[in-house]
Structure 1
């Protein structure tokens, strides 16, 4: 099957149900070549090159939910997050698949995205044998796609912000692979897409009260500092850094 699917990446051939199921079976394969270069690449090929039909896309989504991929091992959870980020983005923007998900299916994905860091306990970025695990970054990609979708409930933006803070504060060490940059993209795009006002974001930042006396607390505080700094520089690069957000970030950093 591996060889067949590798060849399909170079063509626009139809994928059978058996082949799509094999991809789902191996979404968390411990071999990074299979997991990254074959399975995830195949999912991108299926959607971005319009290989898969809308009916097949529905079946793929339903199968993924039935398998409870987000409740499996670290690699499966992490790469299921990437798959769901892709699916949400495709539903939002791709003309061939736009609105292929039902509203109830979207709401399921939104809730899963909001909870993605609640149950995660493996924060490794890169492993010498397994390659990229990166559950923190992939979870951020999932939540970013969810909050950018037009159907994401406006009354849950603050919950998304809190999920990011909780992620930073769950760590027992500092982020090791740029996770803070991926996390920061979520509030940045809430601002850029005018879904949250600068004053609202500034208020959320002003409410932060992070201790840093004990070693573990200090690592978590550093993660918050890096997260806020990334928001600062990303907004600045987009020329969207409002004075109240700038002041709120500077105040948090000056506090220590």
Structure 2
């Protein structure tokens, strides 16, 4: 058994005596471990570093991506919710398979365990981790932006009794805003994904207390309106990028918000 904390402390140098491909398998299993100190600790850092540095060969990275795509059907929430993080690393490093998008598209709006943090399992964050991958796919040239915008709408309109409580609304809004920075996105498509949200929530009567799914949607769209106005940072210290069709998006989001709260 590898002491991954020691590997992390050694600048993630590859341990001697074990093939990298075998070590990747051990890291993959660690990122589905129910112990948050294992899943979200040194193994995560080491795997992310090896992917970014190109330490893992392309064939093994693609196998890892296929494994993560399959993990969306895992019965354990900790396995499902960490799969998008690994896929995000891989796509950021230049790897891509259309099947990964298909698997993600099936899982994201269907996930019912939306806990951000659990006292035993630690961070789960399915909505937030999924949002990060949605943004990554949504900016990929082989994925049409409308596909990911429609997926965001499907996640927002999916029934749930769970109120976002760990900034999931902000992460999802940021993901949508990043997809909306694509300059190949037509003006109509930039707001067309809002129609099912308006139809779904614009016809319901808001009860007291406000239902969780409506609260989640309202807060996500409000944050999106801010990002559409000010631009969105793709990450780190990079400058903010403008949302394409900025005024149209702002007006579209505002109209949906108005329809929901005034009905």
Q: How would you bin the TM-score normalised by the shorter chain?
A: 0.7 to 0.9
Supply the distance in 1 between the matched residues of 2:117 and 2:2 (Cα, whole angstroms).
Answer: 24
Q: 1:199: Cα distance to partner?
A: 3.6
Q: 1:74: Cα distance to partner?
A: 0.3
When normalised by structure 1's length, the TM-score is 0.82
Q: 1:83: Cα distance to partner?
A: 0.5
Matching residue within 58, 79, 87 for 2:90:
87
1:127 aligns to 2:143 (yes or no): no
Alpha-carbon distance change, 180 to 39 in structure 1, aligned in 2, over 3 angstroms: same
1:33 aligns to 2:44 (yes or no): no
Partner of 1:46: 50
| Cα pair 2:66 2:100 within 8 Å, conserved | no
Aligned pairs for 1:228-247 (under 5 A) are 228-238=221-231, 239-240=242-243, 242-247=246-251
Alpha-carbon distance change, 222 to 212 in structure 1, aligned in 2, over 3 angstroms: farther
Partner of 1:69: 71
Q: 1:60: Cα distance to partner?
A: 3.0
Secondary structure of 1:173's counterpart equals coil
| Cα pair 1:212 1:218 within 8 Å, conserved | no
Aligned pairs for 1:111-126 (under 5 A) are 111-126=102-117
Alpha-carbon distance change, 184 to 242 in structure 1, aligned in 2, over 3 angstroms: same
Partner of 2:178: 189
Partner of 1:172: 161
Alpha-carbon distance change, 20 to 233 in structure 1, aligned in 2, over 3 angstroms: same
Q: 1:34: Cα distance to partner?
A: 0.9
Q: 1:121: Cα distance to partner?
A: 1.4
Alpha-carbon distance change, 61 to 159 in structure 1, aligned in 2, over 3 angstroms: closer
Alpha-carbon distance change, 88 to 135 in structure 1, aligned in 2, over 3 angstroms: same
Higher deviation after alignment, 231-240 or 209-218: 209-218
Alpha-carbon distance change, 212 to 125 in structure 1, aligned in 2, over 3 angstroms: farther
Richer in helix (by share) = 1
Supply the distance in 2 between the matched residues of 1:61 and 1:204 (Cα, whole angstroms).
Answer: 28
Aligned residues: 238
| Cα pair 2:229 2:250 within 8 Å, conserved | no
Alpha-carbon distance change, 159 to 61 in structure 1, aligned in 2, over 3 angstroms: closer
Partner of 2:139: 148
Partner of 1:95: none
| Cα pair 1:85 1:145 within 8 Å, conserved | yes
In the TM superposition, what whole-angstrom CA distance separates every residue of 1:233-252 from its partner, at most 9, and x where no partner exists? 11222154722222222222
| CA-based RMSD | 2.3
